[in-house]
Chains A and B, each alone.
Chain A
């Protein structure tokens, strides 16, 4: 449902520190069907892996969205530096792509 509750006069946003208590966070990966890879679906809080898988099933596969689930402790995920994207992911080698090469039409599909 929906929900942009308008601001009231004098409303102040609470300070949020991201302090983590309670159940740890798990990242959920779901395989939609045999032959496909597991894809990130979201996350769940759970006390252990078994419960995380159970919750992931309830939260992310209520309509046949998957045939297999992985859960990984969120704290175990390591990510590339988001600010380094220029150096890391720049595509400056067009000759790696098939469209770089001109093949005469007479040759047909290649």
Chain B
């Protein structure tokens, strides 16, 4: 057997497009990049509940309401899969919470825009989730095993999100003039932020190259953005709505749609914390966390008390109960 260093073993796995697993040796920078990306992704799912949660009580029918509740619950679940994946890299959930709350870790800027009308539920599902799927389908091939597995799970569930959004848009587009205007207004407001979700152009993404080499990213921001535009334009045409970009045109030679320039200044302002809802989103999250503190304390106290009663000498949490339950299951 030849002796290989951690670096060599890592390089061999990456070259063979094999997955890196939690206990493998990995370069410190790989680990940091992975933590940052998965944490941001998790935070995005969690904060992403807010813009849509905003409309649950005002959904136009019981059907729409049940769907919206299920969707928001999915976002919470996606956040939890991802926190789980992130924790395999040696960080604790509480640390990640704290870094979100104090602003040292970010979430996707798309969630810093307000949801002003019901049509925004349609536009978010169709465009924001559509952009997310484009990104996430590529990420199912990412090199870190736990992240890739979370992505596969999430992609299976996101498809419902996009379809329900498009259905809302379709219903409004076929409705009264006022409803159609509402749908157009939502498209006008969400189109550019959705394109910006893919991140800065490739020539302004200094970290893309390293991420590609490590198999963290498998496609570039511009490639994914183009795919999203190509996929979405015909869908907008079917709705009879107009994409707010006068430069949008089919380019026969390239076989793709050309589109106008994204306002990156606005994008960076939102990343820096100056978007319409940045402060509200974090304030709401922190309040929910703080309001829940007594519940967490009570649950831990209850668990400790029950554990002590069941097994007076043990001070670990209920491990015995788990074993008993598993035994019952096996018998």
Contacts and interface: CB of A to CB of B under 8 A. Distances in A.
Interface string B124-163: 0000110110011000000000000010000001000000
A2 B92 contact: no
B110 A72 contact: no
A21 interface: yes
B63 interface: no
A86 B1 contact: yes
Contacts of A20: 92, 94
Contacts of B205: 6
A1 B23 contact: no
Contacts of A68: 329
Contact of A1 (B92, B95, B110, B299): B110
Contacts, number: 152
A100 interface: no
A75 B111 CA distance: 36
B166 interface: no
Interface string A22-41: 11111000000000000000
A71 B317 CA distance: 13
A106 interface: no
Interface residues of A, number: 46
Q: What secondary structure prevails in chain A residues at the interface with B?
A: loop
Interface in A1-19: 1-8, 13-14, 16-19
Contacts of B107: 3, 5
A6 B318 CA distance: 43
Contacts of A22: 93-94, 296, 300
A24 to B, nearest CB: 5
B300 A18 contact: no
Contacts of B325: 49, 53, 70
A105 interface: no
B81 A48 contact: no
B317 A47 contact: yes
B17 to A, nearest CB: 18
B36 A1 contact: no
B84 A3 contact: no
Contact of A6 (B32, B135, B271, B306): B271
Given A43-B87, A70-B329, A87-B1, A8 B321 contact: no
B41 A2 contact: yes
B322 A72 contact: yes
Contacts of B326: 70, 72
A110 interface: no
Contact of A13 (B36, B94, B95, B316): B36
Interface in B61-75: 70, 73-75
Interface in B301-331: 302-303, 306-307, 316-319, 321-322, 325-326, 329
A5 B329 contact: no
Interface of B: 1, 21, 23-24, 32, 35-37, 40-41, 44-45, 48, 70, 73-75, 77-78, 80-81, 84-85, 87, 90-95, 99, 104-111, 128-129, 131-132, 135-136, 150, 157, 197-200, 205-207, 217, 221, 268, 271-272, 296, 299-300, 302-303, 306-307, 316-319, 321-322, 325-326, 329
7 A-B pairs with the lowest CB-CB distances in the bound complex, closest first: A2-B135, A48-B303, A1-B132, A47-B299, A82-B23, A47-B303, A3-B108
Given A3-B135, A3-B197, A47-B317, 13 more contacts: A1-B75, A4-B135, A5-B106, A5-B271, A6-B199, A7-B206, A8-B272, A16-B95, A19-B94, A43-B87, A50-B321, A51-B299, A76-B319
